[in-house]
């Protein structure tokens, strides 16, 4: 049976993807180093070919960063990606052990690799607790995959009891790999080809163009997935669209995080962002005024040269602060660093309640 969600469709969802659908999967970018140079590579300049680690959007400098991020989104699993994780195998093993030790064996971990690990590497990954491995071969191997070293790695990974799949962008020649997935009884994840800042020129050079102005989907990618679905109805198959990543996956992860980190006075929006009021100026003076106005302590929080408070509280006390302090509504992501999405100055016209 084929299920459809936000332009995505699938006949089979591996556990790694199921958790992603719930927004419960954390992304561990383990290194930007990679020996390949795929034209469709979406890795940003900040990360590409640099040995850097990120957990979701957050740069990692210690184990605690990883654990904090997992707590902040109530993560039920982790996807290890890069760059090429096998280039920093020991780091991967340490992180798998760290996560399993702190969140239990049920914390599901999957990993991508564009290389063909040998038996010893797979054994190490399996012993550390890796649950699922997704092979991400470069495009020139897709039509000779069965005769490549990847076929060997797939066999060994299966023998070790891991869940095994192939994950590639849905472009020309993706269909060549389907018979292999069927023969070896492994799942196939096709990602909609997406434009990014770093791959846009290479994609345009090859004749790709945007399907919609507001999304990064490349035209034609989804059609290839539809053809594969029609031609191979029995393959364990998932097509993951760009719209799905934005509308479902990211939004759900933001909602989970907002749920954990929201203060009493933060309003959580439908998109998973936080909405509150801000008064800027001398912190002590603002707090004196809030106490004088009998604003309960749990409805505001000092934050440097500003005080954040419930947006409705800000509206209630608007007359007392006008002319003395600057104030505005603010909306931010609940993620580390709390990137601001929008700031609207408080004026009579901007007030939500009056
Ligand atoms: S293997 Fe992955 S990380 Fe490496 S160049 Fe290709 S797409 Fe980028």
pLDDT digits (tens, 9 = 90+) for 197-241: 999 999 999 999 998 877 799 999 999 999 999 999 999 999 999
pLDDT of residue 6: 67
Please report which confidence band the pLDDT of residue 354 belongs to, taking 50, 70 and 90 as the band edges. very low
270 shares its domain with 136? no
Please give the number of the atom of ligand 1 that sits closest to the Cα of 40: 7
State which of 226, 257, 288 marks the end of a domain: 257
Q: Is any atom of ligand 1 closer than 6 Å to the C-beta of 175?
A: no
**Are 104 and 37 found together in one domain?**
yes
Whether residue 63 is found in the same domain as residue 112: yes
Indicate whether 159 and 194 sit together in one domain. Answer: yes
Question: Looking at residue 284, what is its pLDDT?
Answer: 93
Q: Is the pLDDT of residue 5 over 80?
A: no
CA-nearest residue, atom 3 of ligand 1: 83
Query: Do 149 and 287 sit in the same domain of this protein?
Result: no
Question: Does the residue 354 lie in any domain?
Answer: no
Could you tell me if 232 and 272 lie in one domain?
Answer: no
pLDDT at 142 over 80: yes
Indicate the residue among 257, 285, 312 that finishes a domain. Answer: 257
Owning domain of residue 272: 264-345
Residue 198 Cβ contacting ligand 1 at under 6 Å: no
44 with 139, same domain? yes
pLDDT digits (tens, 9 = 90+) for 35-45: 999 999 999 99
pLDDT at 239: 96
- Which of 29, 33, 38 is the best mutation target for the ligand 1 pocket, counting ligand atoms within 8 Å of the beta carbon and taking the most? 38
pLDDT of residue 350: 67
Give me the percent of the chain exceeding a pLDDT of 70. Answer: 97
pLDDT at res. 103: 98
Query: Is residue 302 situated within a structural domain?
Result: yes
Q: Could you tell me if residue 234 is inside a domain?
A: yes
Q: How far is the CA of 100 from the centre of ligand 1 (A)?
A: 27
pLDDT class of 192 with cuts at 50, 70, 90: very high
Q: How many domains does the chain have?
A: 2
What rounded mean pLDDT belongs to the chain?
A: 94
Instruction: Specify the pTM.
Output: 0.90
Measured between alpha carbons, how far is 318 from 346 in angstroms, rounded to an integer?
Answer: 8
Specify whether 186 is located in the same domain as 145: yes
| Cα 206 to Cα 215: distance, rounded to the nearest angstrom | 19
CATH number at 70 reads 3.20.20.70
Determine the average pLDDT of the residues in 92-113: 98
Count CB neighbours of 228 within 10 A: 20
Per-residue pLDDT at 352: 59
Domain final residue, candidates 257, 279, 309: 257
- Average the pLDDT over each of 92-96, 102-106, 239-243, 307-311 and give the range with the smallest value: 239-243
pLDDT confidence band for 278 (50 / 70 / 90):
very high
Question: Do 292 and 232 share a structural domain?
Answer: no
Regarding whether 322 and 175 lie in a shared domain, the answer is no
Q: Is 41 in the pocket of ligand 1 (CB under 6 A)?
A: yes
Question: What pLDDT, on a 0 to 100 scale, did the predictor assign at position 299?
Answer: 97
Ligand 1 nearest-atom number relative to CA 112? 2
351 domain residue, yes or no: no
């Amino acid at each position: 049976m084929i299920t459809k969600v936000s332009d995505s469709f699938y006949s089979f969802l591996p556990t790694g993807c199921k958790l992603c659908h719930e927004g419960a999967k954390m992304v561990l970018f383990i290194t930007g180093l990679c020996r390949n140079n795929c034209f469709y590579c979406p890795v940003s300049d900040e990360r590409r070919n640099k040995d850097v680690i990120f957990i979701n959007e957050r740069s990692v400098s210690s184990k605690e960063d990883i654990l904090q991020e997992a707590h902040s989104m109530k993560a039920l699993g982790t996807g290890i990606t890069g760059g090429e994780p096998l280039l920093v195998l020991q780091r991967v093993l340490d992180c798998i052990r760290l996560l399993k030790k702190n969140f239990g064996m049920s914390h599901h971990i999957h990993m991508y690799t564009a290389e063909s690990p040998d038996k010893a590497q797979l054994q190490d990954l399996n012993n550390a607790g890796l649950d699922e491995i997704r092979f991400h071969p470069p495009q020139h191997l897709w039509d000779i995959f069965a005769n490549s070293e990847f076929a060997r790695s797939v066999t060994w990974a299966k023998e070790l009891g891991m869940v095994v799949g192939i994950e590639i962008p849905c472009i020309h020649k993706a269909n060549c790999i389907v018979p292999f997935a069927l023969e070896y009884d492994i799942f196939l994840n096709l990602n909609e080809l997406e434009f990014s800042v770093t791959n846009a020129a290479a994609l345009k050079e090859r004749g790709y163009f945007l399907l919609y102005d507001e999304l990064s989907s490349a035209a034609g990618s989804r059609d290839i997935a539809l053809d594969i679905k029609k031609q191979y109805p029995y393959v364990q198959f998932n097509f993951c669209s760009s719209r799905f990543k934005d509308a479902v996956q990211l939004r759900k992860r933001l909602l989970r995080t907002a749920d954990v980190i929201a203060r009493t006075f933060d309003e959580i929006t439908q998109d998973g962002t936080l909405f509150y009021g801000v008064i800027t100026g001398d912190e002590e003076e603002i707090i004196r005024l809030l106490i004088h106005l009998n604003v309960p302590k749990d409805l505001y929080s000092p934050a440097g040269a500003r005080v954040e408070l419930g947006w409705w509280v800000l509206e209630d006390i608007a007359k007392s602060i006008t002319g003395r302090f600057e104030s505005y509504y603010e909306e931010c992501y609940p993620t580390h660093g709390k990137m601001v999405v929008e700031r609207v100055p408080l004026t009579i016209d901007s007030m939500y309640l009056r």
